[in-house]
Structure 1
Amino acid sequence: MPSPLSTDRPAAQPPEGDQVDALISQARRLRGGIDAVRREAAADAERSDDPRLRWQRALCELAAHHVDNLGEHLGQLREGLDGHPLAARPEADTASATLTGQPPAVGPQGAGTAEPGAPAGRVGSAEWNFLTDEATWSDELFLLFGRRPEDGPLTLDELPSWLLEDDRHVLTAMVTDCLVDGKQIDGEFRIVRGDGAVRTVHMMGEPVLDSDGCTASMWAVLRDVSALRRCRQEVHETRDSAHRRREIAQTEHRLAVELQEAVLPPWRGSLRFPPADPPAPAAPGFGGALDLAGHYLPSSTSSLVGGDWFDAMELPGGRTLLTVGGLTGHGVTATSTMAMLLGAVRGMAVSGAEPGPLMGWLNHLLDAAAQPALGSAVCCRYDPASGSLLWAQAGHPAPVLVRDGAATSLRPPEGVLLGAVTDAAYAQAEERLRPGDVLVLHTEGLAPRPALERLPELAPRFSAASGAQECLRVVLEEFGDKEREDDACVLVARIGS
């Protein structure tokens, strides 16, 4: 049955593939423009020793990295959570492949990525002259480190003391490779600013050689990428969390389905109660054996399994138990609670409990359960010898009785929802059934209420049906393909002669 506190809303829709492809195309064009500016800046830098030209070239490199990162995320968006290589390799940089069609280039420390609209102090430049042992810093770099300009720039010997101890070897390795082997610098480390704040810094640079080919100085561009790294970490964590949630949901769904299949009636098609041959003689004009057919209908808007049930079983003395019901909620909790209630119904019915007191005990059981829930149910005990149908209900739709081509809902005895009121009392009513009568029991989720009002219109087809299975087919043809927000159960009983 649907929860009275349902808060279902339409799920957010993913972006259209054409929109993402258009963004990727724009990013490719932007990357091409940056490459053109970068080549020009690199040519100018080679013809001049002006540090501003090297600064421009470094900024072009950072801009290219930034667009590559944009292409990476657009590629993730297009491929989806499962299809993108990052699902298996979080550190892989696929930006180049996305924007340029070339194999991805993965640096030793990952690509440095600029943050959009970075204010002053988020990126700065430095040059260390090994011939004069001088260091030159831009004003922005002093802001990045939280250091006063009057204190002077840090030398390469002093710089490691500002790094976290675990990251000092990273800087040492980069500087050594640059000085000894002439390699470019491209890596990240964490610094402790003058105000005590820890920031992640990406450093790019290269050696400057003298006329003899020896390293005369080293320049670098340093950018604060702390916020970007936090965003990346959040993306990875939320992606992993989504995978875990989906795996848990799949496991819970499988358990709920298996539990439901284990407790619902195993029979398919018609079932006849009592099965004894010959049956006990019925009172003239009343009673007769039951021809039964039942069906479970899953929700059409959700893959979650609910707590609806239907059941029929033979009781001592030739009587028959008929019951349908449902609980609020979905998943393993609702299904396991349903299994507990259905087991209790069967046990108490076999012990001889009448439907009214049985409902009271079910209410107490649900009220005392560890997982609070609300439920509705109808429970009937049919005696084929007398044709007596003794029944009770708990906030549930009354059974529909079809007789002589006309349908009416039985007048329900008093009964509130299970689990709603402690120590609630449940009345019971009695109906005499005749050969040829059809009794239709269903849960609330079968169809919206306006659609269910058409159920009596099916009475002529029920009366003309040859058995319960054909009657059930009539119900499914009418309501089986309806949009249902919750799962539903139907149980049809036809009184034989």
Structure 2
Amino acid sequence: MGSAQGSAGRSGPAAGMLSVIARQQRQLAEARSRTASDALIDVAIGVLVERLHCSVAEAGEQLRGLAAAAGVAPADFAAEVLGQAPGASPRPALDSDARRRSWLAQAAVGHAADGCPVAQAVHDEVLAPLGAVAVAFWMLEPDGALALVGEAGLGPLDASRWQRIPPQLDCAAQRAARLGAPQWWPTGSPPGPAAGGIGAGGTDSTGGTDGPARLGPWRGARAALPFRRAGAVVGAMEICWPASRAQFGEGLRRELTALADLCLHSLRPTSGPGGTPGAAAAQTPEGFATLAARVAWLPALLDAVGGSVLLAQAVRADDGEVLDFRIDHVGEGFQDPGGRPPAELRGRGLLELYPLLGADAGLFGRAVEVLRTGEPYRADGTVLLTLVDDVVVGEEVDVRIARLFDGVAIGWTVGEASAGEYSLLRAVERLGRFGAWQEEIRTGAVRWTRHTYELFGRARHAPPIPLDDLHTHVHPQDRAAVDQLRDALLRLKRSVTVSFRVLLPDGTMRQLRALAEPVTDTAGTLVAVRGVYQDLTSHYRTQVVLDATRHQLADSEARAAGQHRLALTLQRALLPGSDEAVEASGLAVAVRYRPAEQEHLVGGDWYDAVTLPGGDVLLVVGDVAGHSIRTVAGMVTLRNSLRGLAVTGAGPAHLLRWLNRVTYHLTDDITATVVCGLYRPSDHTLRWARAGHLPPVLVHGGKASTLPQPDGLLLGVEPDAAYEEAIHHLAPEDLLLLFTDGLIERRGTGLDTSLGALLEIAAQRQPDVARQADHVLAHTRPDTDDDTCLIVIQRRDHRA
């Protein structure tokens, strides 16, 4: 009817196609109904053949005659016959309509090949008559997720979205599987915060925050029932209605519970690599009700890796509450605190074997929480309390719990050291000067290792010192540290590290550091405290000496810093940088000083450009070897001495010979290089001499070259050294560069190569000497962290 109305406005091929599709859908539904009814009648005929001892034809005629006499359809009468047949499977008491629907569904699912046809059959024969619009089946996976194995009535998008429901998603199906009990929601999803995921109730299956995630777009009633086999949850189904219901009556609940049992038994195991792992594991014959049977490969894997692991299946009450865990598999490497073999553990309850695990916040509660949430639990150094021959035995274990279907995998490792490990621990104690200890809270028993006795200077037969008496063996000034140790362990239950001095029996003291921690059981109860003492006596004495040395070093550093500041101030006072050219006796002069990149390297480079009383211009560039206050002091001596000698009117060679004697006899064993020139304005001549220094660079006619250099030994080496003098005539516009080696030196580069690079830079003429000096400094890149002095002069003729 809907199709006909929907196509009323259409004409031509489209309307005809829709009419054909609608007719085929009606025929398919009728065929399914006839198939289910025929199958039900066939089963009833078989029952009558056995009861009446007649032929099949006679039984068929008998059934149709009785149905006609009763005024009911043959299929309805067949359902009545099957509902009263001897040997029928025991099922909840159902009314006649429910029994008929149940037998129609059972007959229909017999022809289903997998989950979706099963879902379609129960939907058509049972749920649709009850007003439901959709049904879905999921099987439990090892991690607690639900894998979709069949559905009817869902759209393609919802079927895709709900292929896998993670264990942390709050929805009806997960609640049924997690709690092991049906969920009846007559008015739809209950209000409350959604756990997030595929979709949330209250809006649609794509989102929302006002309730659990909702399957499909319907806001009406829904029911979710667990699939249970041998008491274990193996999956879940969910049924959706388009509108709310008054309530789920007792009869309807029995019918849907029986339907869930029918659906579980009708599902076929998946096969092949494309099958759903959870479905394949759960869809097994009736006898495969244990974890080991559902994942047959897992026990073999656990035994192969040799882990101390057991697999346990949840034992639930009728309302889904977990009462215990039945142990299905015990790994070959499992360590039972009571020493029982694995055969004595299999098939028994976890609380039966380890009753103390059921204490508040005990390991049993942790396992139930893991099963409920799917979140693994792990704890290292947990004290496991068990009863062995009516005696409470405590073992420190590392525990791991993970969900596996409707059960858990529990692994614990008892901390026992092998002989090799014990030897290694002894070596660690000896080399690190450690001593271990442990004190039981309940009994007060104290255990010390051998090295702990040595740290306290006590004989091995002497009793260990408990925490309560430790302060009597500690220096009075350090007893507050012992109080802090006890308070942190016994009251605050937290780890602590303290240091104190121990008074030894021979009257000496030993500096110890204590590192300790509390030991609690799974309920958080303090059962012991333990830790190590470490001997820090040698370290303490070294620290005292180091502190004294550090103070001395700080004083030395302060003195050195003061000397450095003095040298730097003195150097800057003597070598004030000049950014402007200076006119002096027909010369344009520019001077530049570039300090070393590292400020602490105060060097001995200096320059001087001064007009003498006779009218000549003194031009000097020098470099005292070294970087220290002694170097700066030597530079000051040479600079001032040369200025004083220059007023005598002697030539550059004589000035250097005198300056060499000053350097050799009157300074603190320094050496230096100098180039000294006297420029005579009257004839534009430059008389110059050098003491081991690089020659000046002349820029003439667009080309740069070094002046031919006279001989001359560096200052301070030979007291009677002689120096030659050279004369050069400066042509108009000639440039002359005097510099120290810091301008061109580069590591790994020869001096001739560096000098050639400087000539290329100097040949690039600039408008004036100031910019020429800046150009040279900007384009030279030394890397020896040496300071640099540069003088650039140019002849300027006076014009009237």
SS at match of 1:491: strand
Aligned counterpart for 1:385 among listed residues 659, 665, 682: 682
Corresponding position of 1:429: 725
Is structure 2 residue 791 aligned with structure 1 residue 495?
no
Offset, 1:299:
4.1
Please name the residue that 2:754 is paired with.
451
In the alignment, is the contact (CA less than 8 A) between 2:384 and 2:395 conserved in 1?
Answer: no
CA distance in 2: counterparts of 1:329 and 1:315, whole angstroms:
30
Matched, 1:123 2:435: yes
Cα distance in 2 for residues equivalent to 1:367 and 1:355: 18
Cα pair distance change 1:176/1:409, threshold 3 Å: closer
**Match of 1:11?**
none
Deviation at 1:333, TM superposition (A): 4.5
Structure 1 residues 148-186: Cα deviation after superposition (integer angstroms, max 9, x where no partner): 31344346687556545543453356558878x787683
Quick check: 1:395 aligned with 2:705?
no
Match of 1:292, SS?
A: strand
Q: Distance in 2 between matches of 1:328 and 1:338?
A: 9
Name which one, 1 or 2, has greater alpha-carbon Rg.
Answer: 2
Question: Of 247, 256, 259, which residue of structure 1 is paired with 2:570?
Answer: 259
- Residue 355 of structure 1: aligned partner: 652
Q: Which has the higher contact order (CA 8 A, sep 6+)?
A: 1
Cα distance in structure 1, aligned partners of 2:485 and 2:397: 19
Partner amino acid for 2:725?
A
Counterpart of 2:608 in structure 1: which amino acid? D
1:270 alignment partner in structure 2: 581
Structure 1: 5+ residue runs without aligned partners? 1-35, 57-114, 275-288
Corresponding residue for 2:776?
A: 475
Q: Residues 351-382 of structure 1, C-alpha deviation per residue, up to 9 Å, x if partnerless?
A: 54543343344444444577544321111122
Shift of the 369–148 alpha-carbon distance from structure 1 to 2, 3 Å rule, reads: farther
Q: Name stretches of at least 5 consecutive residues in structure 2 with no aligned partner.
A: 1-375, 400-424, 746-750
Paired AA for residue 293 in structure 1: A
Provide closer, same or farther for how the CA distance between residues 145 and 128 of structure 1 changes in structure 2, counting only shifts above 3 A. farther
Q: Deviations over 1:172-204 (max 9, x none)?
A: 56558878x787683221336679683432142
Query: How far does the alpha carbon of each residue in 1:399-434 deviate from its partner, in whole angstroms, 9 at most, with x for none?
Result: 22344455443333332223334x242414031423
Q: Deviations over 1:226-280 (max 9, x none)?
A: 399779969x979999999999888777655543331114532211112xxxxxx
- Counterparts of 1:52 and 1:244, CA distance in 2: 58
Pairing 1:170–2:481 present: yes
Q: Distance in 1 between matches of 2:473 and 2:590?
A: 78
User: Per the alignment, do residues 458 and 339 of structure 1 end up closer, same or farther by CA in structure 2, a change over 3 Å counting?
Assistant: same
* Partner residue in 2 for 1:189: 500
8 A Cα contact 1:124 1:144, kept in partner: no
Q: Deviations over 1:38-86 (max 9, x none)?
A: 9442464899986774999xxxxxxxxxxxxxxxxxxxxxxxxxxxxxx
CA drift at 1:468: 2.7
User: In the alignment, what sits opposite 2:283?
Assistant: none
Answer whether contact 1:302 1:485 (CA < 8 A) is retained: no
**Structure 1 pair 40–298 and aligned structure 2 pair: CA distance change class (3 A):** same
Aligned equivalent of 2:161: none
Shift in CA distance, 46/226, structure 1 to aligned 2, threshold 3 Å: farther
Q: CA deviation at 1:219?
A: 4.1
2:712 aligned partner, one-letter code: G
Gap change, CA 1:318 and 1:370, over 3 Å in 2: closer
Map 1:136-151 onto structure 2 (within 5 A). Answer: 136-151=447-462
Mapped to 2, the partners of 1:192 and 1:37 lie a distance apart of: 45
Would you say 1:329 and 2:629 are equivalent positions?
A: no
2:186 matched residue in structure 1: none
Q: Is the 8 A contact 2:698 2:735 kept in 1?
A: yes
One-letter amino acid matched to 2:792: V
Q: Deviations over 1:117-166 (max 9, x none)?
A: 9435513104388988x754233422443543134434668755654554
Quote the Cα distance in structure 2 between the aligned partners of 1:268 and 1:315.
23
Query: In 2, Cα distance between the equivalents of 1:348 and 1:45?
Result: 100
Superposed, 1:46-445 pairs within 5 Å as 53=396, 118-120=428-430, 122-127=434-439, 135-154=446-465, 159-160=470-471, 162-164=473-475, 166-171=477-482, 174-175=485-486, 186=496, 187-191=498-502, 198-204=510-516, 219-224=529-534, 226=536, 256-274=567-585, 289-299=586-596, 304-330=601-627, 332-350=629-647, 352=649, 354-367=651-664, 372-421=669-718, 423-436=719-732, 437-445=734-742
Alpha-carbon RMSD: 5.0
CA shift in 2, pair 1:198/1:343, >3 Å: farther
Contact 2:494/2:518 (8 A) holds in 1: yes
- Give the partner amino acid of 2:641: A
Instruction: Summarize the Cα distance change of 1:125–1:365 in structure 2 as closer, same or farther, 3 Å threshold.
Output: farther
Quick check: 411-420 or 364-373, which moved more?
364-373
Percent identity reads 28
Contact 1:310 1:324 in 2 (8 A): yes
Task: Give the equivalent residue in structure 1 for 2:381.
Answer: 41
What is the Cα deviation at residue 485 of structure 1? 3.9
Q: Which residue of 2 aligns with 1:66?
A: none
Question: In the alignment, residue 796 of structure 2 is paired with which amino acid?
Answer: G
What is the distance in 1 between the residues matched to 2:710 and 2:510?
A: 71
Q: Deviations over 1:82-122 (max 9, x none)?
A: xxxxxxxxxxxxxxxxxxxxxxxxxxxxxxxxx9x943551
Cα offsets for 1:462-497 (capped at 9, x unmatched): 5xx6543354355345x4345454222221111222
Q: Indicate if the aligned counterparts of 1:269 and 1:469 stay in contact, CA closer than 8 A.
A: yes
* TM-score, normalised with respect to structure 2: 0.39
**1:398 Cα deviation after fit:** 1.3
Q: Check 1:52–1:452 CA distance in 2 against 1; reply closer, same or farther (3 A cut).
A: farther
Letter of the structure 1 residue corresponding to residue 754 of structure 2? A
Contact kept, 8 Å, 2:386 with 2:394, in 1: the verdict is: no
Contact 1:200–1:225 (8 Å) recurs in 2: yes
Name the amino acid aligned to 1:399: P
Cα distance in structure 2, aligned partners of 1:224 and 1:355: 75
Partners of 1:182 and 1:207 within 8 A in 2: no
Report how far residue 314 of structure 1 moved: 1.3
Aligned residues of 2:612 and 2:618 also touching (Cα < 8 A):
yes
Structure 1 CA distance, aligned partners of 2:377 and 2:455?
27
